[in-house]
Structures are given as C-alpha cells and as structure tokens.
Amino acid sequence: MATTERIADVRLAVTERPTTALFGAFVVLLALDLVFKLLGFELTAGGASLLGGSLRFGRLITLVWNGLVVGLGIGLAGIGLSMTYSILSFANFAHGDYITSGAFAGWAVAWLVAGFGSGALDGNVLFLATVGFGSGGPSAGELSVNVLQTPFAIFSGLVVAILATVAVSLLLDRLVFEPMRDQSGIALLIASIGVALALRYVVVFVFGARNRGLTAGGAKLILAGVEGKLALATQRSTIIRAQGGDVPADAFYTELPVLDFGGYSAELLTVTSVELTLVVTSLALMYGLHVTLQRTKLGKAMRAMADNEDLARVTGIPTERVVRATWIIGGGLAGASGYLIALERGTLAFNLGWLLLLLIFAAVILGGIGSIYGAIVGGILIGLTNSVSLVWIPSSFSTAAAFAIMIVVLVIRPAGLYGGVTTA
C-alpha cells in the first residue's frame, strides 16, 4: 500500500511540475554517465556510445577544484553587486570596472614593493607603478613576484586593492549616485553604465590597454597515489622517484595515513600557491562578512534597510551610514576579488571586470538577486558547472553550459535559489 501511494505521489509531482521532473531526470542521467566513465564502462548501440566511456578520477578532482577556485572568485565579486541591489535597489553595471580598478591599484603597489625588495626600483618607479606600461623595465620573473617569495608584496597589494576600490566607490557615489538617490532604478542603471565606461578608459589612460603578465609562478603541491599510498609532494619528479624508493633528501614528500589502494600510482590533483591563496582569502572574507551581518549592529541595520527602507528610517536607523557601509563593503570585496582573480590567472588587462561581469550577474541571479549567500552559492555553482561540464562538452561551450544551468534553475525557481532573502 505504501509503495502504491509513493508511486501515485511521484506521478502527481511529475504531472504538476514536468519541467522539474525533466531536469531531475537529466541530472540523474549525467550522474549515471559520470559513474560509468569513472568505472571505465561504456554502453553502446549500433556503434554509437550512449553512456559512459573513460575518465580518470584525478581529472575529475582537478575539474572540481578548478571550478571551486573560479566559483569562489566569482562569488566574492558578486557579493558587492548583490548588496548594491538589495540596499540601493539598482543593478550596478560599473561593478565590473570597480573590480578592474582594484586589481590595477593593488598590483601597482605589489610591483613597487617587489621592486624595492629586489633592488629594481631605481629608475623604474613609473614602470612598476603602471604594472609594466611601457618598455625597458623589469619583468615579473625578474621581480620574482609570487606568493612564497614576495609574500609582503602580495599582501600589500591586496590591502591597497581593497582600500583603493573603497575610495573609488565612495567617490563615485558622492559624484553620481547620491544626487540620483531618488531616481528610478532604470536611471541609476543607465548612469552606472556611463560610470563603467568612464572608469574603464581612465584605467586604459593610466595603465595602457596591453595585457600583461603579473607573477613569476610559484610552488605547487601535488596529491598523488604512489604504489597504493596517497602522498603529497612539491615536484612530479619526486613522485616518480618515490615509486622506486629513491626520494631526494631535499625534496618535500610525505605519505598520508590512509588505506592502501594496491598498486595504484597516478597524479590526482595539483594545487598551486596562488589557487590556495585565492581560496583561503575568499573564504576568510566571506566568513568575516557573515559575522558582520549576523552579529553586529551594522549588519542588523543593513538587513533592516534591505527589508524595508522606509520602516528602517522611521525606527531611527541612519540610512545614509548604511549606504556608505554598503559601498565600503561591496567595493572592498570587489577590489579583493579582482586582485585575487588576477593573481590566480597570472595576467591582467583593462577589461578584466567587464569580461567577468556577465558571469557575476549570472551567479547573483542564480542565487537570488539581493541575497549575499545566494551570490556566494551561485558563484560556486557557476564555477563548478563551467569546469565540470568539460567532461561532456568542448571548452568553447563551457560558459554556455553555466548559463544554461542558470536558465534551468530560474525556470524551476524564478526567484533564484535564495529568492526572497535579501542581504542575508
């Protein structure tokens, strides 16, 4: 009897929500195909592959890690955009260029500090302050700019990226958005497009339009299986030698206390120092924002204003202070995200934020526009979809897959994953 009732409930759910049922069936089919690929099993019909194939477990782990790195960067950038919409009620198209401005300001300082430390500052101040605009100055390799060799330069750049973007966002609010505070969201949106264009070409004028390399690489931490044991090493050659029992004395190599997997030997995952820096810093900033929203008076005021601005003003909440705090937090996180994304990529161009803006909007809309936690979750989902989709489709279509997931989720939940939850 219970089984009959369950079947009837399933039929009713499929009838009432066919789109959801179809999406669920598609997800189950992809999961089944993924399992078959990992097991090396392939189901064919008439010479055509229907399910399964071949996929190394290490390849899947790498795709998931790459998606998480990209997703955290997008999620961090999306927080400010979501806060602006939640509290100020307009979509800020200049947000992408805030990201670019912060990245350039931060890297200008990082190069200057690295140049001072390497003795390359004399005669190259302007070259370093414009992150290599012009010719004749030292390269990123000559400056040895990376997380492990020049940590103070990297940290200094991050701090300046945050502070510079906060200053830019407050200045533009005072000049453009504050006088238009009582205008409609459409008017503010159009104004933000003008701000974006102006800010972008100020960056081009100061730093140039050339794409430039930023870092000199850095150490990598490799997770691998060595004769059935999971191990961590910093060089592939160390892993190869470890299989024969000959590990160099000066190399880092350690086996993890896990079960013996037999004769399994393969590289599973390579984590670079810049990827780890992005992940740890992004999570720390997100947690700091969570504590601010949930446990401080400012956070309560921001949530109250996002829910009902008129009621917040009547109850004595200083709304203008909340607006300034919104620009400070949102701008600071935008600058941090731009700096960290450029660090992870190793390159920087004047259109960095503009190219990211579409993905950031997709993440914010997917998570539920106006929700900070939705922006974070949406960014991670966009990043994972963009990366893991490479199992089935060419890389040129991976971004389209991310947007396809956004569209499907919005068809099922038009308000997004965290729809109806603003700011927090």
Structural contact between residues 80 and 98, judged by C-beta atoms closer than 8 angstroms: yes
| pLDDT for res 213 | 85
Domains annotated on the chain, with CATH? 2-52 (no CATH), 57-217+274-412 (1.10.3470), 220-272 (no CATH)
**pTM of this prediction?**
0.89
| pLDDT for res 65 | 92
| pLDDT for res 333 | 95
| pLDDT for res 305 | 80
Structural contact between residues 289 and 282, judged by C-beta atoms closer than 8 angstroms: no
The vertex-250 CA angle with 247 and 255, nearest 5°, equals: 50
Residue stretches of the chain with pLDDT short of 70: 1-17, 19, 236-251, 258-266, 420-424
| pLDDT for res 249 | 60
User: Exposed, middle or buried by CB within 10 Å (0-12, 13-18, 19+), for 64?
Assistant: middle
| pLDDT for res 252 | 76
| pLDDT for res 136 | 73
| pLDDT for res 196 | 93
Measure the CA–CA gap between 383 and 77, rounded to whole angstroms: 13
Phi-psi category of residue 215: left, alpha or beta, with phi > 0 → left and psi -120 to 50 → alpha: beta
Measure the CA–CA gap between 184 and 212, rounded to whole angstroms: 40
DSSP of 282-298: HHHHHHHHHHHHHHSHH
| pLDDT for res 11 | 62
Residue 130, token pair as written in the block: 């414009």
| pLDDT for res 341 | 94
